[in-house]
Structures are given as structure tokens and as C-alpha cells.
Amino acid sequence: NNAKDAKSTLDKDDSRDIARQKTQEEILFHEETIDLGGDEFESEENETVSEDSNNFVDKLNEQMMESVIISDSPNNSEDDTGELGCLQEIVDQIEAKDNQKTQAEVDKEEFLSNESETEHEETPKDISEIGTDDQTSLKEESIQEAVKEEPKLGNNVPVETKPNNIGESKPEDQILSPSTTKPSSEAEPIPVCTIFSQANNASTQPQLFLPDGFEPQMVKSPSFSSIIETPVKSNPQVVQPSPSLSKFFGDPASTNTLASDFFDSFTTSNFISVSNPNANSSVPEQMSSLSNGGDGSSSNPTFPVQNGRPEAGGPPSSLEVTQSPKPFSQIQAVFAGSDDPFATALNMSELDRRNDAWIPSEETRNVLISVATQQYSTVFIDKENLTMPGLKFDNIQGDAVKDLMLRFLGEQAAVKRQVLNANSVEQSFVGLKQLISSKNWRAAVDLCGRLLTAHGQGYKKSGLPASHTTDSLQLWFVRLALLVKLNLFQNAEMEFEPFGNLDQPDLYYEYYPNVYPGRKGSMVPFSMRILHAELPQYLGNPQESLDRLHSMKIICAKILENLEQGLAEDGSMTNITQENRQASVQLWRSRLGRVMYSMANCLLMMKDYVLAVDAYHTVIKYYPQQEPQLLSGIGRIFLQIGDIKTAEKYFQDVEKATHKLDGLQSQIMVLMNRAFLHLGQNNFAEAHRFFTEILRIDSSNAVANNNAAVCLLYLGKLKDSLRQLEGMVQQDPKHYLHESVLFNLTTMYELESSRSMQKKQALLEAVAIKEGDSFNTQCLKLG
């Protein structure tokens, strides 16, 4: 604070000038407001004119809105003579404005002026300010780190090649080793997959599936029966971009499985995680490498064998290719899964349909229909309508904790810091999960990037045609979700951008009738849509978030409506068993609830509290089991606004709601709310009592612990407060090394002593042991 003042005194002359300018502006502004006031009331005035028998001048006077001087305080107000005219008022406003300006700057600094200035020295340096600047720039560096490692990447990765015939062997694998097969095998009838509407049905059916009589139901497992048939029949041009890719793309059985199996498919089949980078560099190149068996095959010896039949590695003119990547979509060739039990597939597709259902826009739907109807002639699609994602930056790996350790604790200490990175885990989904759960999200983002590179969607691949699979989209989802979790919103936005509104035709299964025969719906995970919708609000554009959420809400509602009317999710006429319908309704209701949740959160962020509260009320309808929590949340919103009375009302509702169910959880909730209420009434002592009460019931309650400590500080018991927080962190560092707790702790250290640095560094060491690379070091305030 003082630092600011010192600066401002230096620049006093300048600021005076500015102030003078301001004055003029202000006067203008002020006059304007008066005028406005007059205008506003003119209409009313006109009405009253005739009623009044007073003379006109008086009326004119009345019209003016008079500015009123706010006296300093209730106690002082009597002294005001009230003679202060308009002019003075203007001055006041200027001052206020001016102050606001400087205040804004002052705000940036920390109030905690620990600078040890003595006597009349009024010019301390603001170390902390410089420090924070440093920190941010540091972060940026690590983000923008060069991409050069990319080529190396491929080499680092253990390339395990197994000469297995990908197309065919996969299903066989599953049969042979039951551990990798899907868990369910009940026979369930698969509904006929109609495309969107009955009318198209007739025309699409024969082409899509086995010509088995066109009876619009019960095609045999579409994934197996038709595949064998179709490629043979009319699609000799089967293109296999890269072995690893085909592995991913080619196996509908594995992609159809539950998430858990889905990992297995990667790990147990020894996929070639990162194939020859050259092979992936661009699609036309791939084509050529394919046709002449060039470098692509040399790096992956298994390649030529792959499809089990001599492929006409097809030179479909690369010209055509660039115009429309359609041929690439027909990547997958052969599925020898005919002997795989139908039942599994049938059940899977029931699940698939339920989960993947989505209603495309009119435009997209038309494209999809045309894909379905003219299956083998190339459908030309505008490049703009295609999703061509690629990594926008590579290697955000970096460990802020380690960097800080290097700076403050020296190299030796820093060496001890060991975290997993993208290289130290298996290059697979298992490794990815490992990174995520150990909170090494930066490394996980990198690993996602590598896996996506293997899918041909790596760095600089944005804008190039790409084929999408369930896996590639899941990988994108994970990557983007982690970026959001790391607060790297800009990066996430950049990489999200090629996906458009997630409604492009090539993001639907129908676009790839050969790869995913009969499968319908969107490849985009629902959670990715949520993420996509939520993202703009973190970038200062909540309105866009609301728009996206609204369109999601509409589709969810439509799907529910379809289900209620006895249709399938996408509105097609499909027989769904009661049981499945029930499950589907349940799923989509909870999804709709999730959308409402996001909306409520977004409104809360926009500080539109009235609507936010309404939205949370709606959420309660979808998640009745969360009612007490949500009501408490609404109560806290009112508390934040300052509306203590309404907050109290909500807290009482919570007590009523939890009255029936007794349990630790609800007991804590009630106590917590009471504590917050006291907080709102400025009664920190009582609040502390209630927080402590919670700790008696549940001594490991981090929130209560932290909040009790905060109360202690407000009661002037800094040492006690510190003891409580420190005790908590030591007791269970794994759990309590949370950003907010550490922030409070460092703030108190700063308040306590000018030697807070040592204690902060001690915290850094603790963090180094327990936390992954995703730790937000800002809360340590180590500049």
C-alpha cells in the first residue's frame, strides 16, 4: 500500500493533470446525469402539470433531480449545514472517481505490507508485487515451451510390435482370453438402427446392412454381420493409415466396451503407441506411403499383413482426398468377429445408443443422411464442416514446484523432488490414469498429446483432415478437461476451437458406416460437451457459456421427450424394452440435471444471484438426494450477497430436510450452516464454537478445521490460528495440502513475522513430497 503511495507522490504532478482532465469530464458527465433525470420524468411531469395550479417555474425546478450529499455518518450528519450545492457535489464525485482509479491499482498489491520500513521512511519496495509478476511469466514460459521434442518422442516410446492381424485378431483375442472380453453377454435384441426418420429408413437400410429382408428390426449384430459383407461388396479401397491407428479405429468391439475394458484393449494388445512420426505427418503422405509400402511399412513391419488380405492400398486420387476425407473414414477393413457372440454386441449397442445419443442439427443431419444413402460414392463436404483438431501446443510439462525449489532450496533439494512424468509411465491409458490420480496433470496432458499424435492429430495437425474414433475423442476430452483443471483455459479454448460446436458430421458414428456399422449417435462424450459449454465462462464470456448450455438443455429435453413418447433417444422408431427405456430416462435426466448445474454455476459466476438461485432450485429437482447440500449452497449465496435473513431461512429449510435423516453428514451440515450464519452476523466467536463442534464429531473435517482457524484470526488469536492450521497440515498432509488452506497459512505467516519466507519454504518442501505437477504454487506466495 505504502509503496503505491510513494509512487503516486512521485507522479503527483502527472496525476494532478489527469485529475484536472477528469474534472472536466466529470462535470460534463454530471450535467448529463441531471439532464437524464429530467428527461426521465418529463412524461410524468406532463401529466401532473394540469393538476397543479402552481406556476410553471416551480414545476421546472421540481423536475430537476437534486444530488444529495451523503454526510459522513449518521452521527455526523446533524452538523451538515446542507448548504453544499451542486458544485461541491461534483467535486466529491471526482474525488471518488479518482480514488477508485488509484484504488484499483492499489488493489493489485497486497495489503499486507510487510516491508520493514522504519521511522518516516515512506518508500518501501514492494517485493511481493515483483514476485507475482515473475511467477506468472514463469508459468507462461513453461507453457510455451518448444515443440521440438516431438520427433524424439517417438523414439523414446517403447515400440512393441506384435505381428498380429489387427482387424481379425482382435475379436479372436477376446474370445481366447476371457479376461479381456466384455463382461456382459446376455442376449438383448438390438433395435434396428434407422437413420433419423422412417422415410430414409427404407433407402438406407439395404445399403447399411446385410440385405436380409429389410425388415426394420433385428438386424443381427450390425457390427459384425454387415462389416464382413460391406467391404467385400463394394469397397475395395480400404485404407489403413497406420497400424497403430487401425488398431484404435478398427476394433468396434473394444470401443464398444465399458471404459474399463477399453483400457485393456490398449494395454493388453500392445498397441504401438507412437508410430513413425513421418507416417502421420500428413494424410496425403500417408496415402502414398501406403500405396508403395514406403516408410510407413518399414517402421511398422506388421503393416502389410494387417488386413489379412491384399489391400489395394488404394490410390484414390489424393485430390479427392483433400476435398473430402470421406475415404479415410472407411479406414477399417475387416472384422472377423462373426463368431463373436451376438449377445455381447447387442447389449453393447443398447448401452451405446443410450449414451451416445445426440440430436444433430438439421444441416449435420442432412450430411449424415447423405453419407448413409450414398455410402460408397464420395460425399463432398465442406472443409469447414469437418473437425480437424490438432495439438496447438506441445509439451506443457513442467513442474512449478520444482522450479520454486530450485530457486529457494537449491539444486540438491530440487533433485529430491520426484514426480511422474509422461515418460515414466506406460504410454497407454493405464499410464494416463496413473498420472491423473497422482495429480500429475501436466504430464497427463502431455501423454494425451502423445496418444493423440499416434492418432494423427498431433501438433500442427490442426486443419488437416482427420478421422475420429471413440478413443481419439476420449483422449481429447481428457486432455481438455485436464487443461481446464489446470486453469489453462486459453490453451483449452485454442484446442477446442477446431471442434466447433461439437456438431460436425464427422463427429457422428453414422459418418463412418464402415468403421462403426450400425452405430449411431455422437462420438463426443457428454462430459466433453459440458466442458465445452463451461469453458467460455472462465474466459470472461459467461453469456456464451449460457448459450451453449441452453442448446444442450434443449437437446436433453428433446431426448427425454422422445423417450416418453415411446421413441428412441434420437426420435427414431425403435423398440426399446421397458427396462432399457427406464435406464435411458434416468441417464438423460441426470444429464439434464448436470446441464442445469453448470448453468447455475455459470449464473453464479455472473453474479446473477436471483437466476442462479432459481437454477439451483431446478437442480434439486433432478438431484433430490443433493437437496440439503444445494439448499445450504443457496443459503451461502444469500450470505455472500449480505442477505442474512434469507440465508437463515434456507438454513432452516436444510435443518428440516435433514431432520428426517440423521447421520453424521447432515449433522455436520447443520452445524456448518449455523457457523456461517454467525459469521454473517459478525459473531466470529460463536462461529468458531460451531466449527469446533464439528471437529468434535469429525476431527478430520478439513473445512471446519480451516474455518475455525480463520475465525481465530478474526478474534485476534493469530498464534492459535496458526497452530490449528499447522497441526492440520501435519496431521494429514496428503489431504490438507490444499490450495486454500495453504493460502491462508502463508497469509498468516506473512502477518506473523517478517521472516515468513522460511516457513513458506518449509511448506514448499511438504508440498514437494506430496503433490504432483499440477499443484498451483501461487498459493504459497513465494515470489
Partner 1 sequence: LAVMRLTKPTLFTNIPVTCEERDLPGNLFNQLMKDDPSTVKGAEALMLGEMLTLPQNFGNIFLGETFSSYISVHNDSNQIVKDILVKADLQTSSQRLNLSASSAAVAELKPDCCIDDVIHHEVKEIGTHILVCAVSYTTQTGEKMYFRKFFKFQVLKPLDVKTKFYNAETDEVFLEAQIQNITTSPMFMEKVSLEPSMMYNVAELNTVDTAGESESTFGARAYLQPMDTRQYLYCLKPKQEFAEKAGVIKGVTVIGKLDIVWKTNLGERGRLQTSQLQRMAPGYGDVRLSLETIPDTVNLEEPFDITCKITNCSERTMDLVLEMCNTNSIHWCGVSGRQLGKLHPSSSLHLALTLLSSVQGLQSVSGLRLTDTFLKRTYEYDDIAQVCVVSSEVK
Q: Which of residues 631-650 bind partner 1 (CB under 8 A)?
A: 632-633, 636-637, 639-644, 646
| Binding map of partner 1 across residues 99-118, x = CB under 8 A, - = no contact | xx-xx--xxxxxxxxx--xx
Q: Of the listed pieces 190-198, 238-246, 500-508, 597-605, which binds partner 1 according to CB under 8 A? A: 597-605
Nearest approach, Cβ of residue 205 and partner 1 (Å): 28
Closer residue to partner 1 in complex, CB, 92/544:
92
Q: Which of residues 22-41 bind partner 1 (CB under 8 A)?
A: 33, 37, 41
Neighbour tally for 706: CB within 10 Å: 21
96 near partner 1, rule: CB under 8 A: yes
54 near partner 1, rule: CB under 8 A: yes
91 near partner 1, rule: CB under 8 A: no
| Binding map of partner 1 across residues 192-231, x = CB under 8 A, - = no contact | ----------------------------------------
CA distance 781 to 783: 6
Q: Of the listed pieces 204-212, 460-468, 474-482, 494-502, which binds partner 1 according to CB under 8 A? A: 474-482
Which helix (H) or strand (E) is 545 found in, with range?
helix 542-564
Closer residue to partner 1 in complex, CB, 386/486:
486
Nearest approach, Cβ of residue 724 and partner 1 (Å): 13
Q: Which of residues 118-147 bind partner 1 (CB under 8 A)?
A: 118-120, 122
Nearest approach, Cβ of residue 206 and partner 1 (Å): 32
CA distance 268 to 264: 5
Q: Which of 301, 755, 758, 769 binds partner 1 (CB under 8 A)?
A: 755
Q: Which of 346, 414, 710, 768 binds partner 1 (CB under 8 A)?
A: 710
CA distance 408 to 449: 32
525 near partner 1, rule: CB under 8 A: yes
Closer residue to partner 1 in complex, CB, 115/172:
115
Closer residue to partner 1 in complex, CB, 402/594:
594
Nearest approach, Cβ of residue 580 and partner 1 (Å): 16
CA distance 248 to 263: 11
Could you give the C-alpha distances from 501 to 24, 363, 596, in angstroms and in order? 48, 13, 19
Q: Is 751 helix (H, G, I), strand (E, B) or coil?
A: helix
DSSP secondary structure code for residue 608 in this structure: -
Q: Which of 239, 274, 348, 630 binds partner 1 (CB under 8 A)?
A: 630
Could you give the C-alpha distances from 179 to 21, 51, 77, 261, 427, in angstroms and in order? 78, 92, 82, 9, 21
Torsion of CA 510, 513, 518, 523, to 10 degrees: -40
Q: Which of residues 439-468 bind partner 1 (CB under 8 A)?
A: 439
Q: Of the listed pieces 61-69, 213-221, 325-333, 405-413, which binds partner 1 according to CB under 8 A? A: 61-69
Neighbour tally for 496: CB within 10 Å: 22
Q: Which of residues 678-697 bind partner 1 (CB under 8 A)?
A: 679-682
Amino acid, res. 759: K
Residue written as cell 455410402? 375
Burial, 34: exposed, middle or buried (Cβ in 10 Å; 0-12, 13-18, 19+)? middle
Nearest approach, Cβ of residue 365 and partner 1 (Å): 24
11 near partner 1, rule: CB under 8 A: no
408 near partner 1, rule: CB under 8 A: no
Q: Of the listed pieces 285-293, 302-310, 505-513, 607-615, which binds partner 1 according to CB under 8 A? A: 607-615
Q: How many CA atoms lie within 13 A of 721 on its CB side?
A: 26
Tally the residues of the chain. Answer: 783
544 near partner 1, rule: CB under 8 A: no
Neighbour tally for 283: CB within 10 Å: 21
Neighbour tally for 745: CB within 10 Å: 27
Q: Which of 138, 406, 494, 702 binds partner 1 (CB under 8 A)?
A: 702
735 near partner 1, rule: CB under 8 A: yes
Written as nine digits, the cell of 760 is 513458506
| Binding map of partner 1 across residues 227-266, x = CB under 8 A, - = no contact | -------------------------------xxx-xx---
What residues have CB less than 8 Å from 61, skipping those under 6 apart?
none
750 near partner 1, rule: CB under 8 A: yes
Q: At what angle do helices 578-605 and 526-538 cross, to 10 degrees?
A: 10
Looking at 179-325, list the stretches that DSSP marks H as alpha helix, in order from N- to C-terminal side: 198-208, 222-234, 243-250, 252-255, 259-267, 277-280, 283-291, 295-299, 318-323
